[in-house]
Amino acid sequence: MINGKNIVVVMPAYNAENTLEQTVRELPEIVDTAILVDDCSSDRTAALARELGLRTFVHDANYGYGRNQQTCYREALAAGADIVVMLHPDYQYTPALVPALAAMAAGGVYDMVLGSRILGGGALKGGMPLYKYVSNRLLTAFQNLFLGAKLSEYHTGFRAFSRKLLQTLPLLENSDDFVFDNQMIAQAVLFGFRIGEISCPTSYHEKASSINLRRSIEYGLGVLATTVRFVMCKLGILTPPMFDTTGRKIDLHYYSEAIREI
């Protein structure tokens, strides 16, 4: 708990058995509840999570990274979260920075806090492939130009959110795939939420999850499409569902038939 705010860490997981225990063991004491959502892994991710004391939810099929996050946020809100920190269980990001991200949101200064791998210049040192680093920088510059923001990175998977933000954004209108992350930032910018960043080291190791070149290209095209929709909305040409204030939002009944707690 920070500033009287309930801190919940959520971990969207898929085949994370090899790195999950190390991640969980390093969670700081300020975390009130830790939740893992397993997207129908083929390994012991869900069983291990339960053994480690996590609240564990399992999808009945592999629905994708974006859908996994939607379930994460639903269960976090249902658990009474004031601040939600998303931490990947593949140990690419250090759990030691959870308090820093949570505190920036719990202090009421920011509604979304991003752990940037670019600030501090540690991305390449941490093993980020050169093509991913270059594409990260180019896509970030492109989005800063058209979204009117000044962020160092739009593509990190280490983030903190206020309860208000998660209840306001039409997250159920977003992609089930990896571009979900980028769409959340674009939504937060459009709806006027405050976004902060901290420097975050990264570790690209053999057990860390990482999308291949083909999926990276698909992600990049999704980022471009999201930006185009953002601009069209700002210009009043059209309002895509993901940028519509009446769009579908997270609620406690979301997708309950496909989720079970173990």
Q: Is residue 199 part of a domain?
A: yes
**How confident is the model at residue 179, as a pLDDT?**
97
Q: Is residue 101 part of a domain?
A: yes
Q: What whole-number percentage of the chain has pLDDT above 90? A: 82
Region 137-154 average pLDDT: 96
The parent domain of residue 126 ranges over: 7-244
pLDDT in tens, 24-67: 999 999 999 999 999 999 999 999 999 999 999 999 999 999 99
- Name the band, by pLDDT with cuts 50, 70 and 90, for residue 91: very high
Please say if the pLDDT value at position 86 is more than 90: yes
Please say if the pLDDT value at position 141 is more than 90: yes
pTM above 0.85, yes or no: yes
Provide Rg for the chain, Cα atoms: 17
Please say if the pLDDT value at position 257 is more than 90: no
Could you tell me the strand order of the sheet in which 159-162 lies? 195-199, 112-116, 159-162, 83-86, 7-13, 33-38, 55-59, 259-261
**How confident is the model at residue 213, as a pLDDT?**
79
Q: Is residue 249 part of a domain?
A: no
Neighbours of 59 (CB within 10 A): 21
User: What is the domain count for the chain?
Assistant: 1
Identify the CATH number of the domain in which residue 19 sits. 3.90.550.10
- CA-wise closest residue to 106 among 89, 87, 86, 85: 85
**How confident is the model at residue 214, as a pLDDT?**
84
Q: Which token pair is 201? A: 């080291």
- Name the band, by pLDDT with cuts 50, 70 and 90, for residue 262: confident
Contacts for 109 with CB less than 8 Å, ≥ 6 apart: 194, 196
Q: Which token pair is 93? A: 């990001």
pLDDT in tens, 206-229: 555 566 778 889 999 999 999 999
**How confident is the model at residue 35, as a pLDDT?**
98
Cβ contacts of 252-259, under 8 Å, gap ≥ 24 = 252/74, 252/77, 252/78, 254/70, 254/71, 254/74, 254/172, 255/67, 255/70, 255/71, 255/74, 258/59, 258/60, 258/61, 258/63, 259/37, 259/57, 259/58, 259/59, 259/60, 259/71
Q: What whole-number percentage of the chain has pLDDT above 70? A: 94
Q: Is residue 177 part of a domain?
A: yes
**How confident is the model at residue 95, as a pLDDT?**
97
Higher pLDDT, 253 or 27: 27
Q: Is residue 142 part of a domain?
A: yes
Q: Is residue 250 part of a domain?
A: no
Q: Is residue 189 part of a domain?
A: yes
Please say if the pLDDT value at position 20 is more than 60: yes
Region 89-94 average pLDDT: 94
- Name the band, by pLDDT with cuts 50, 70 and 90, for residue 127: confident
Cβ contacts of 137-145, under 8 Å, gap ≥ 24 = 139/220, 139/223, 139/224, 142/223, 142/224, 142/227, 143/182, 143/186, 143/223, 143/227
Average pLDDT, the chain: 92
What SS3 state is found at 223?
helix
**How confident is the model at residue 210, as a pLDDT?**
60
Please say if the pLDDT value at position 4 is more than 60: yes
Q: Is residue 260 part of a domain?
A: no
Region 126-138 average pLDDT: 87
Higher pLDDT, 195 or 210: 195
**How confident is the model at residue 255, as a pLDDT?**
58
Q: Which token pair is 14? A: 């898929």
